[in-house]
Amino acid sequence: MGERKLENHGETGEQTGNRNAEEWLTLYGDYLYRYALFRLSNEETARDMVQETLIAAWKAKKNFRGDSSIRTWLVGILKHKITDYIRKQIRDRNLASRLELDPTSDFFDANGQWRQPVHGWADDPERLSSNQEFLRALNACVAKLPEQHRHVFTLRELNGEDTDTICKACDITPTNLHVIMHRARLTLRKCLEKTWFGDSKAI
């Protein structure tokens, strides 16, 4: 696909109408695909989400007023597509009918205390957020989360949805959300300590 640097922040809806979905795919397809893949951890699903986004954008092109760049507009559509996809996955599989087995039980002893001391990471979070190797390691760890935890974590941390939206989408209470996020973060911490902050820097 190959994303080219061709952003016109002042492009109007009429001008956008002169473009077609194939041009958007050429200009922004790679970026949209990486965005979707990082949140869904499935190549086929990520491609489907990009395709649905481009179709939806083409149908709604007259609504684009040029208040933001075309890429930002497309990402906004893609974000909603991802949220709707996760919501449908949860509803179809009835994930909210149970809380999955706690994958973090080995973090604590019978008294609820940490089995091993927790140490802070020396790496700067801002630097890590722009490190592509780290992002690949994080994505691999997210993909290993139990399905319910992965969906909730994606909606909260990667899609930036609020508590009400997530609870409605997943049919869970705010307390359930807090517990799931706590477990997901602990599991991700354990995974990253093995694959990134430990001796190995690769998945």
> Of 74, 93, 112, which residue constitutes the final position of a domain?
93
* 158 and 87 inside one domain: no
Measure the CA–CA gap between 195 and 48, rounded to whole angstroms. Answer: 30
Among 64, 93, 122, identify where a domain stops. Answer: 93
DSSP result, 28-74 = HHHHHHHHHHHHH--HHHHHHHHHHHHHHHHHTGGG--SSS-HHHHH
pLDDT tens by residue, 10-44: 444 444 444 566 788 899 999 999 999 888 888 99
CA pair distance 104, 189, nearest whole angstrom: 10
The total of structural domains in the chain comes to 2
Residue-range definition of the domain harbouring residue 143: 98-195
**173 plus 133 within the same structural domain:** yes
Judgement on whether residues 121 and 170 belong to the same structural domain of the protein: yes
In a domain, 6, yes or no: no
Q: What is the pLDDT of residue 75?
A: 94
Task: Reduce the DSSP state of residue 108 to 3 states and report it.
Answer: strand
Region for residue 69 given its phi and psi (left: phi exceeds 0; alpha: psi -120 to 50; beta: otherwise):
beta
Buried b (16+ CB within 10 A) or exposed e, 162-188: eeeebbebbebeeebbebbbebbebbb
In a domain, 127, yes or no: yes
Same domain (yes/no): 136, 48: no
Whether residues 102 and 176 fall in one domain: yes
Helices (H), the chain: 13-16, 21-40, 43-59, 70-93, 125-129, 132-143, 147-153, 163-170, 174-195
Judged by DSSP in three states, 25 sits in helix
Provide the 3-class DSSP secondary structure of residue 114. Answer: strand
Token pair, residue 176, equals 């359930």
**Residue in 87, 109, 83 with CA at minimum distance from that of residue 96:** 87
Tell me how far apart the alpha carbons of residues 119 and 11 are, in angstroms, rounded to a whole number: 49
Same domain? 104 vs 58: no
pLDDT tens digits, 144-189 = 888 888 889 999 988 888 999 888 888 888 988 888 888 888 888 8
> pTM above 0.75?
no
Phi, psi of 61 (to 5 degrees): -60, -30
Q: Looking at 40, 75, 93, which one is the last position of a domain?
A: 93
Q: Is residue 200 part of a domain?
A: no
How high is the pLDDT of residue 54?
Answer: 93
Q: Tokens 């359930």, residue?
A: 176
Task: Judge whether residue 130 has pLDDT over 60.
Answer: yes
Residues 62 and 112 reside in one and the same domain: no
**Domain for residue 23, yes or no?**
yes
Q: Are residues 109 and 177 in the same domain?
A: yes
Q: Is residue 148 part of a domain?
A: yes
